[in-house]
Structure 1
């Protein structure tokens, strides 16, 4: 009877989830995203409901596949896999149904086939070695020491204090610390042991007694049992033709040893026990330093405990300081000093004791020989650095070759032995302006890695974006720039929500919910809601958001009216706005005013651009007109449009003459283009604003050139090859296998669903 009631309750929750995907909950728009969270909480409170939920989800998936309701498939599949990872046990028939469904997705286009293949591979391993997905997730997220699975992950949350209020920042810090309070390495190792035993042994496992015994054990013994369990599970998961019965036998031996080491206790309650899945290791950072992201990543890969002293690490960080990328890019040109040794190293060749050196070894001869002055560390080959960078580029447009380019004398074996054991998951909180800062930091990081490869061969970088907008925003420093509305401030979030409905329901709902929960009156119930909900949703997004949406980063070259001022280069990822500054000449003020009245507002500008055609080919065009400004948007209004082009809106001033005199009207022209160069034809200058950020305003600009930002490693490699290329071709050598454009990947649940 209880199972029937539980099944009916879960079925209603799943159907409510599907109606939410269809947008049929207009009265509960403020509570969107809560349905998925409450559904998983039901299985956490009663682990026996996991099997019921999995069966219902499989039925709904099969029904969606037959009825061509594709927008249900990815949300239901993510919900099912998250349930499977946390579930205490599944039947072999249920594993088979889920596996068969994932194989059917291979016939569908992306992202269905990509997600289906990934989950099919995970299910195949989990079916033979139950609990391996849970174990790997806890080990990597908590950075537990494990030789069979040495991977480590860490979540870095970055919030801009200029964009979020102090109350929101303090609330996020409090929630992050509260989530880590009960996640000690000892408790996480106990979770891994208990989950592996319960999943493999099922009814033969007394989880209650196992938990009681482990609590009384010293940490050294828990570590010993933890290593045995991890070795047993990983051994089965890595075998080609693994036998599940052997896996159960291995864990049964460890289980018997643990229980035999303690006296029999009270009678244990029957049924499955709840074994929590701890939240990832999260660190919260206020983004105050431009190089803060890079420094935190370096400390994650090379923590202070691995260095002799903190000064050593500081010196190492100083050595990584990037210089301007020069066109030469020659290797170290210092003169190498050496010494000519006359010692063969054989003992019998040594002169007798007391005997003088041969007469030819005079001071003049010694002076003429090579001298050694201090050791110089060997710098890695440029090809080795490019191989590292090439391996790190997995975004769209990457070309792979079956050949491996090598250089005589280079140690390619040592390169292949390096593995990326660290994964950094960067979560940024805010609006489009913090994405602009992220693009700047990412571009700077890629430039550093081009000059001195350090993080690329060791670290996987994953980017996540959670929009947060508060009611009260700061204003622009001048009246000529009006503060954009909240909808304009979250263009990227809106685009991702339209492309991925599951992102819209789970992540975009946090945009106003986080400030609302942070400003609630302090009470025990308030902390209970925030500590569980916000961190749980972030954890779910980090774990299941595996499909990136790549945004083009654009490079901006700015020329100022002051000739003595050097041109500036910057990048943006969402928007660049150009406005004509008011011209106030010091002389002939009356004549200037009359001229302005005749010519109208704005300034005469020239624009040379490369237009995007339907054939995806570019066409070079130019135009001269009078304009008050223009806006370049990199985020298209429709998810079906190409992300790799600019939508430029130019406000043109149109003069009309009639009997009453001259009048002026305004017309907005929209052009899709790859690149553009805008110059002022008169003495008026421009004001530029990048990514809607009032802290990134440039004044007194006479020319601005915008083009897709090139990958720094591609630029360096192209420069090297051009020096030795006889034909002058750009894409030769390793350059033709590397991506040209710098793309900023933001992870979502499904990517872009066509």
Structure 2
């Protein structure tokens, strides 16, 4: 785990390691530790700022991800050198939601835990740990911290820390006026208001003397400095029962901000409604309705695999059996609203365009487009296994789909996503009883991959995920102390320093059922797709138990399937192929098991097949169709989630999920240009695929 090292010793440790080691893998962890220590240090000499800044610039000569991380930290060090204490100042104001006249930015951390993994007792302990610091939070105390840190960082040895601390402690509401004066002075020394550093220091010196004189403290010109704590950000813990709860919390977050209620219509934040049609480009089917129109007559979804003691149940993510009231007016997005979502796509895509490369994308965009400033930043931390990641991908797609129709949150919230892999330890580890077999043993495949490509993520976040299930056993019965909030401290470090995303393709799947009166279901998945023929598995098991014959009849070898796909290659040339075989199931994985196979595509592996029946043991593709010519049915499960299990399936179609922002640009182009599907205008620089960005410390280290 990360060590909370004394900042006085971090610099020498970093210098020794960074200058003398030949292993580049150590650079980013050491740099993260150094920058985090500098944020909390009350005073740093100018020559040390320069040394760190020069080192960050040297990283620009290295390949990804070193140059990206170096560029990010070089910019921070340049700003910090112009205005010492600026990083601490902005961080506290945004994270603690301190009202002021200069910085409107607000941040909040939302931790969502999957109830399929977290027991009731574990959730209670974790909630107390994460939200405990809210009991100790005092706005006036935080304002004192900002004033104390800013003055000490700027004046250094010319500031007497204990006297300043005593003077600030004697103030009540007056400390707010001093906070605004400090912010105004620092703001003038940065950005477009950049002024003379000596003049800024003189103003802060005058403010320091004024605070001491108003409280009748001795005017000591120099002395020791006081440590100023860096409190954890404001965090809330949620047991993630309903998928749309994420967007409800986002709406509450914005409502609690500085926007007046008159500027926001209630329809803008009615987040409980989520559209049920996934792909607007797919044809709509007409079927004869057997619905009486009475809600109590609707047959509930099958819940045989979901049992929860105490009466509460996990809601299935399949929404195709419910009635919902829709608005009578359909509003098309304006050009301004459409451009906001397209700018998001361009910022995430960078200059890579829609080249369709199989190389996985990581790190922040290198685009030179000015990034739109947003006053709100929501940091979504999801805890659980691959099922939780699948739910996050699904919820993220619903939001983008909604934003493509009418903009609600795009111009207000900067959304960042984080993931802490936590696996079920035993059948009693979760309140949900699951009776679904799985062909995959690793339920945290995505977390294992992130730990493989980013060693610092593995050291901190994967280790935390392994420790979390034991919290319910080791935690005391008393109230948590502010100094014992281990989980909250690590999460705080993660959301602050983990700024390099790794992008995972989201795949679209269309499921056709044997019952023709049942509409096809359109879904998305991000990690795993399982196809299973349970009747053939049971028949094979029964045959082996009763008959001691070596050769099994053909009709028991598995269902006959037809599989057609586009084979992908590093040269981006797609070859259409197809074959038929008998199998009892298939495993389709989007997450590679090692770095050598790290391609941004699906890997298809069939169960119980003879080598001569198939030319390739592993098929790599992004588009395929699977169907049963003999009308046999099979079961489909997405992201290893029993809540997203579909039975009596006859065929499936899988393709990369398309970004709604891309289709907005295509629709705008079609209004002014006749014919042709070629990418022109902005669409040339936009990615067609839709990805899920998970923040890490370094991205992908080769």
Residue 522 (structure 2) pairs with residue 553 (structure 1): no
**How far does residue 264 in structure 1 lie from its aligned partner after superposition?**
3.1
Query: What does residue 51 of structure 1 align with?
Result: 8
- Distance in 2 (alpha carbons) for counterparts of 1:57 and 1:417: 32
Q: 1:119 to 1:655 in 2, by over 3 A?
A: closer
Q: In the TM superposition, what are the counterparts of 1:395-410 in structure 2 within 5 Å?
A: 395-396=348-349
Closer, same or farther: CA 483–167 of 1 in aligned 2, 3 Å: farther
The answer on 1:389 being equivalent to 2:341 is yes
Partner of 1:464: 418
- 5 Å-filtered alignment, 1:335-414, equals 382-393=334-345, 394-396=347-349
Which shifted more, 551-560 or 469-478?
469-478
Which one of 429, 437, 455 corresponds to residue 391 of structure 2?
A: 437
Separation (CA, whole Å) in 1 of partners of 2:380 and 2:113: 11
8 Å contact kept, 2:561–2:580? yes
Question: What is the CA–CA distance in structure 1 between the aligned matches of 2:270 and 2:70, rounded to whole Å?
Answer: 42
Residue from 583, 594, 605 that aligns with 1:638: 594
Alignment pair present for 1:701 and 2:673: no
Residues 155 and 282 in structure 1, CA contact (< 8 A), matched pair in contact too? yes
Superposition pairs of residues 106-185 of structure 1, within 5 angstroms: 106-185=60-139
Aligned-residue Cα RMSD (Å) equals 3.5
Question: Distance between the aligned counterparts of 1:640 and 1:134, measured in 2?
Answer: 41
Q: Which residue of 2 aligns with 1:255?
A: 208
Task: State the Cα distance separating 1:254 from its structure 2 match.
Answer: 1.1
2:57 to 98, 103, 115: 103
For 2:51 and 2:263, locate their aligned partners in 1 and report how far apart those are by CA, in whole Å: 54
User: Is the 1:163–1:473 contact (alpha carbons within 8 Å) kept by the matching residues of 2?
Assistant: no
Alignment partner, residue 523 of structure 2 = 570
Secondary structure in structure 2 of the residue aligned to 1:695 = helix
Residue from 248, 254, 278 that aligns with 1:301: 254
1:186-585 mapped onto 2 (5 Å cutoff): 186-219=140-173, 221-238=174-191, 242-264=195-217, 271-303=224-256, 306=259, 308=261, 313=266, 317=270, 322=275, 324=277, 326=280, 382-393=334-345, 394-396=347-349, 419-473=373-427, 481-482=437-438, 484-485=440-441, 488-522=442-476, 527-528=480-481, 531-582=484-535
Q: Secondary structure at the match of 1:157?
A: strand
Q: 1:746 to 1:681 in 2, by over 3 A?
A: same
SS for the counterpart of 2:462 is coil
| Structure 2 equivalent of residue 620 of structure 1 | 576
Match of 2:318 in 1: none
User: How far 1:530 moved relative to its partner?
Assistant: 8.3
C-alpha spacing 1:192/1:311, structure 2 compared with 1 (3 Å) = closer
Structure 1 gaps, min length 5: 1-32, 44-49, 330-375, 402-415, 585-592, 657-664
When normalised by structure 1's length, the TM-score is 0.77
Distance 1:715 1:684 in 2: 36
Cα pair 1:132 1:237 within 8 Å, conserved: no
Q: Distance in 1 between matches of 2:66 and 2:579?
A: 44
The answer for the alignment partner of 2:324 in structure 1 is none
Cα distance change of structure 1 residues 529 and 154 upon mapping to structure 2, 3 Å threshold: closer
Match of 2:20 among 63, 72, 79: 63
* 8 Å contact from structure 1 (residues 600, 653) kept in 2: no
> 1:516 Cα deviation (Å)?
1.5
Instruction: Mark the CA change 1:399 to 1:451 in structure 2 (over 3 Å): closer, same or farther.
Output: farther
Q: C-alpha separation between the residues in 1 aligned to 2:236 and 2:97?
A: 13
The equivalent of 1:76 in structure 2 is 30
Contact conserved, 2:160 with 2:224, CA < 8 A, in 1? no
Aligned to 1:678: 626
Q: Which stretch of the first structure deviates more once superposed, 538-547 or 88-97?
A: 88-97
Q: Tell me the secondary structure at the aligned position of residue 190 of structure 2.
A: helix
Separation of aligned partners in 1, 2:619 and 2:581: 14
Name the CA distance, whole Å, in 1 between partners of 2:220 and 2:682.
68
SS at match of 2:508: strand
Q: Shift in Å at residue 531 of structure 1? A: 3.6
In the TM superposition, residue 315 of structure 1 has moved relative to its aligned partner by: 7.7
TM superposition shift of 1:38:
3.9
- Residues 580 and 685 in structure 1, CA contact (< 8 A), matched pair in contact too: yes
Asked if the contact 2:560–2:583 (Cα under 8 Å) also holds between the matched residues in 1, the reply is yes
Shift of 1:381: 5.6
Structure 1 position 692, deviation (Å): 0.6
CA distance in 2, matches of 1:455, 1:597: 59
User: The residue matched to 2:399 in structure 1 has which SS?
Assistant: helix
Matches within 5 A, 1:726-741: 726-741=674-689
How far 1:622 moved relative to its partner?
0.7
- Going from structure 1 to structure 2, the CA distance change for 1:731 and 1:62 (only over 3 Å counts) comes to same
SS of match in other structure, 1:456: coil
8 Å contact kept, 1:611–1:671: yes
Cα separation, 1, equivalents of 2:16 and 2:652: 57
Q: SS of 1:390's equivalent? A: helix
Secondary structure of residue in 1 paired with 2:136: coil
- Cα distance in 2 for partners of 1:581, 1:566 equals 23
Q: Give distance in 2, aligned partners of 1:311 and 1:148.
A: 23
Question: SS in structure 1 opposite 2:411?
Answer: coil
| 2:695 is the counterpart of 1:747 | yes
Distance 2:657 2:459 in 1: 32
Give the 3-state SS of the residue equivalent to 1:489 in structure 2.
coil
Higher Rg of the two aligned structures: 1
User: Residue 455 of structure 1: CA displacement?
Assistant: 0.8
Greater CA drift, 96-105 or 197-206: 197-206
Distance 1:423 1:417 in 2: 14
SS at match of 2:557: coil
Aligned mates of 1:561, 1:600 — CA distance in 2: 21
* Matched residue count: 630
**Equivalent runs, 1:85-96 vs 2, <5 Å:** 85-96=39-50
The yes-or-no answer on 1:37 pairing with 2:3 is: yes
- Mapped partners of 1:69, 1:478: distance in 2: 45
Paired with 2:81 and 2:199, the residues of 1 have a C-alpha distance of: 13
Q: Report the TM-score, using the length of structure 2 for normalisation.
A: 0.83
Higher relative contact order (CA 8 A, sep 6+): 2
Task: Quote the residue 2:362 is aligned against.
Answer: none
Partners of 1:55 and 1:114 lie apart in 2 by 24
1:738 offset after TM fit, Å? 2.5
For residues 699 and 615 of structure 1, what CA distance do their matches in structure 2 show? 38
Q: 1:381 to 1:671 in 2, by over 3 A?
A: closer
**3-state DSSP of counterpart to 1:230:** helix
Q: Any idea what the Cα deviations from partners look like across 1:491-524, whole Å, max 9, x if unmatched?
A: 1111111100100111110122112233215266
